[in-house]
Amino acid sequence: MICVERPTYVEIDLNALRHNFALAAERAGGAGRILAVVKADAYGHGATQVARALRRQGVHWFGTALLEEARELREAGLNDPILVLGGVFPGQEESFAALNLTPCIFDLEAARRLNAAGGASGRSISCHLKIDTGMGRVGFLPEDLPEVLKQLRELEHLHFKGVLSHLALADDPSSSHNEEQMARFHAVLDTLHEYDLHPRHVHIDNSAALYSDLMPECTLVRPGVTLYGGYPSGHFAHLDLQPVMHWRTVVAAIKTLPAGRGVSYGHRFVTERPTRIATLPVGYADGYNRRLTGCGEVLIGGRRAPVVGTVCMDWTMVDVTDLPEVGVGALVTLLGCDGDDCIRAEEWAERIGTINYEVFCQVSKRVPRVYKE
């Protein structure tokens, strides 16, 4: 029995997380090569609990986007290396040194500030060098690398232990852009060696690349969405990934409306027959996307019921006319599995025109997470 104060909650299946991790570790050649990406609160799954579970599986590297996310892990007692992918903003340098965090470096001014903080604290700060091989976002351009390296080598309190890049089209394994980025990354490694720099950690593979064998010589790989049971794209739907997030609620009220009666704001749904409407205590403030109006479905007792009427801030209505056994208090699955059926994040994403990553991340903090072993 799972007990929470609110009848709307997210159940995080840690067994499924371990299953997905085992697949990644097998592909990577061992748990020690995994840098688990737990940014954005582990894609909405709860970074602290997820990191602790993965730590028990042998993960020793974690990736966050922000200093604040890394601080949360440190305060929870996680002392393993944390790579902060989002870099160092002015004023954060002392915290990076004090918390022993590893930042990505992709601009010289930030490197100089960080070097000064390292000197003031009397310690060297480990960094990973970010290279833009074709993402067009952040990172030093390969053609600028010789001059960049000359300046970085003058910063005696920075210790460059890693080099990384990021793939823009890895979710499409057939794209020639992947090979172009890999070729640029290989050239970057050659340039580093020319400057007698031999970083211990080399990584470019994300979830999609890990399952595409794009660059097996990487010393680290960075799975994210696949750890949580999401496919990087439809090309990877054959993978045996188990959903980790199961979003539940209950039926709060039921009423039968006559034909011709409108439901919810704007009366975007009007009954065509006597209709049993079940109201659920969940809405877009919880992350149940308003665009699921008229196209979403939920699972009740393993059977599907359509969302009808406009999704509200705190309420959602479904049609249970064809499910006469459903009563007040019945368990409802919004996302995840119930019985033999499962509503995956990919299904939501297709219905509302987004990606599964956003589906996971949209689940509001006001929805409690419950961790199931």
Q: Could you tell me which residues are beta bridge partners of residue 206? A: 222
Burial class (CB in 10 A: 0-12, 13-18, 19+), 137: exposed
Question: Does 291 count as an annotated binding residue?
Answer: no
Phi (first) and psi of residue 93, to 5 degrees:
-60, -45
- Cα 162 from Cα 127, distance rounded (Å): 7
48 and 69 Cβ atoms separated by less than 8 Å = no
**Residues present in the chain in total:** 373
Active-site annotation holds for 265: yes
DSSP-assigned states of every residue in 277-340: EEEES--GGGT--GGGTTT-EEEETTEEEEB-S---SS-EEEE-TT-TT--TT-EEEEEEEETT
Distance (Å, whole) CA 360 – CA 238: 20
Alpha-carbon Rg for the chain, nearest whole angstrom, is 24
Catalytic residue among 39, 228, 231, 288: 39
> Does 313 carry a binding-site annotation?
yes
| Catalytic residue from among 150, 195, 265, 365 | 265
**Sequence ranges of the binding site for substrate:** 137, 313
**Sequence ranges of the binding site:** 137, 313
Catalytic residues: 39, 265
